[in-house]
Chains A and B, each alone.
Chain A
Amino acid sequence: MVGIIGYGTQIPRYRIKVKEIAKVWGADAEALSKGLNLYEKSVPAPDEDTATLSVGAAKNALARSGIDPKLIGAVYVGSESHPYAVKPTGTIVSEALGICPHVHTADLEFACKAGTEGMFIALHLVKTGVMECALAIGADTSQGAPGDALEYSASAGAAAFLMGTKNIVAELVDTQCYMTDTPDFWRRENAHYPEHGGRFTGKPAYQKHVFGAVEAILEKTGMKPKDFDYLIFHQPNGKFPVQAAKQLGFTEAQYRYGLLTPTLGNTYSGSSPMGLAATLDEAGPDQLILLVSYGSGAGSDAFVFRTTKHLLTNRDLAPRVRKQLNEHLQYLEYGEYAKFRGKILKPE
């Protein structure tokens, strides 16, 4: 039996409201919020990045699992905002957690799916007996170009999952992937902001891959939407996952705990993993969870987990997601936000 033995998240304290961004660009904030089901987003402090958020999330995962960091055989950090173009985030994170030197690390990139890529690899390395424990992190401090639709949603956060075989809180039931080469979103080398295909990111991209992964894993496992207690889809905004869930026959009761985007924004590689963490915060034992990520470029990873009784004792050993999301917030004006995110051009 393999599964999650500890999980943790880290969300910056800073927020900016959609209406504050819309005010600067002359956009209709009400229409934006209503249309995208998006009201505010997290903003990283100037001293936070993918490495620092990853360390924070992983420390919470370690606290929940109670294991010695030296037992961890692999650390995978999935992100599209690694601090360096060349120098691994995984080594920084592993060193900060005291896991070095006998560890395999890799930085993964696959737009918003990089977090679940790490989870997929970590779970299967443990499942095949290569190592006792493996750590997978999805983290991002994503940027949207000023005035672009992505600026309203691109946010920051991290989720970490420790995979192992003892004291499992959510057992892995099955996985399924769905990939094609679909150019809906990209960022070229040295480009500061990504480019995207506008409405092309919807039906042929997000919907096709999420639907493809869901249909494939339902067929593989012989399960139906009603068999699941909880559902988490990737959340580029608050509209896509809700629309997809309803079309596929899921209900609000299944996705409500995992839907964080309306007040968190899109944490990219952290998005669906954070939704899973928020769901584990609320789930009971012996419940079925369906997690489906989506990464532009494009692909989806689907996972079915079954919670165990250990979840109930494990989850209060670190802060819950909704606590990090809703408490001790500091709201920024657009000028402060622009400074925090390095959007102001200064002389060298």
Chain B
Amino acid sequence: MNVPRHWRETPERYRMEAAKCRKCGKISFPARLICPECKNKVFDKINLSGKGKLLTYTIIRTAPEGFVDIAPYAVGIVEMKEGVRVMGQITDCDLLSLKTGDKLISRFRRINEEGKTGLIMYAYKFVPDVGI
């Protein structure tokens, strides 16, 4: 990912900023210019709570470039408390005991880096919600 794109996506990556339609209340994540429900173009910015439950997941054992050192790792779809579904990596977990329905919470983590001298990319990941 190049630097300008990462920078453009900072609101959603850093603090899970979503758009709530002022007309019908539908929440879009990432934010959209036109509401997919009612075609309205006016939104309020909200930050997702970060809390959700695991809908489905897979374990990546043959990782793409930049992620080889952390394999195996889990990637899943999480249904957030606000109703939107978000895909993300699940970290700090025992891969063998992970199961659908698990309560997860988002954490601000390193996602990747452009080599040892390039940009460090941060974004949300999910961890088991165990109250710590």
A96 partner, pick from B94, B108, B130, B131, beta carbons under 8 A: B108
* A339 in contact (CB, < 8 A): yes
* B61 in contact (CB, < 8 A): no
* A160 in contact (CB, < 8 A): no
* B69 in contact (CB, < 8 A): yes
A57 to chain B, nearest CB (A): 11
How many B residues have CB within 8 A of the partner chain?
A: 21
B105 to chain A, nearest CB (A): 11
Please determine whether A55 and B91 come into contact, CB atoms closer than 8 angstroms: no
* A189 in contact (CB, < 8 A): no
Beyond A13-B132, A47-B111, A48-B109, 18 extra complex contacts between A and B, CB < 8 Å? A11-B132, A13-B92, A46-B70, A46-B110, A51-B108, A51-B122, A52-B108, A52-B122, A55-B108, A83-B120, A95-B14, A319-B131, A319-B132, A323-B131, A324-B132, A327-B132, A328-B128, A328-B132
Per-residue contact bits, chain A 76-106, to B (CB 8 Å; 1 contact, 0 not): 0000000110000000100111100000000
* B125 in contact (CB, < 8 A): yes
7 A-B residue pairings within 8 Å (CB atoms):
A13-B132, A52-B122, A55-B108, A95-B15, A96-B122, A327-B131, A327-B132
Task: State in angstroms the CA–CA spacing of A97 and B47 once bound together.
Answer: 10
Chain B residue nearest in CB terms to A53: B108
Task: State in angstroms the CA–CA spacing of A56 and B107 once bound together.
Answer: 7
Please determine whether B69 and A339 come into contact, CB atoms closer than 8 angstroms: yes
B15 partner, pick from A45, A49, A97, A327, beta carbons under 8 A: A97
Interface centre among A46, A47, A84 (most CB of B within 10 A): A47
Task: State in angstroms the CA–CA spacing of A64 and B99 once bound together.
Answer: 31
Task: State in angstroms the CA–CA spacing of A45 and B14 once bound together.
Answer: 18
Task: State in angstroms the CA–CA spacing of A330 and B127 once bound together.
Answer: 14
Task: State in angstroms the CA–CA spacing of A95 and B15 once bound together.
Answer: 8
Chain A residue nearest in CB terms to B125: A47
**Chain B neighbourhood of A84, CB < 8 A:** 120
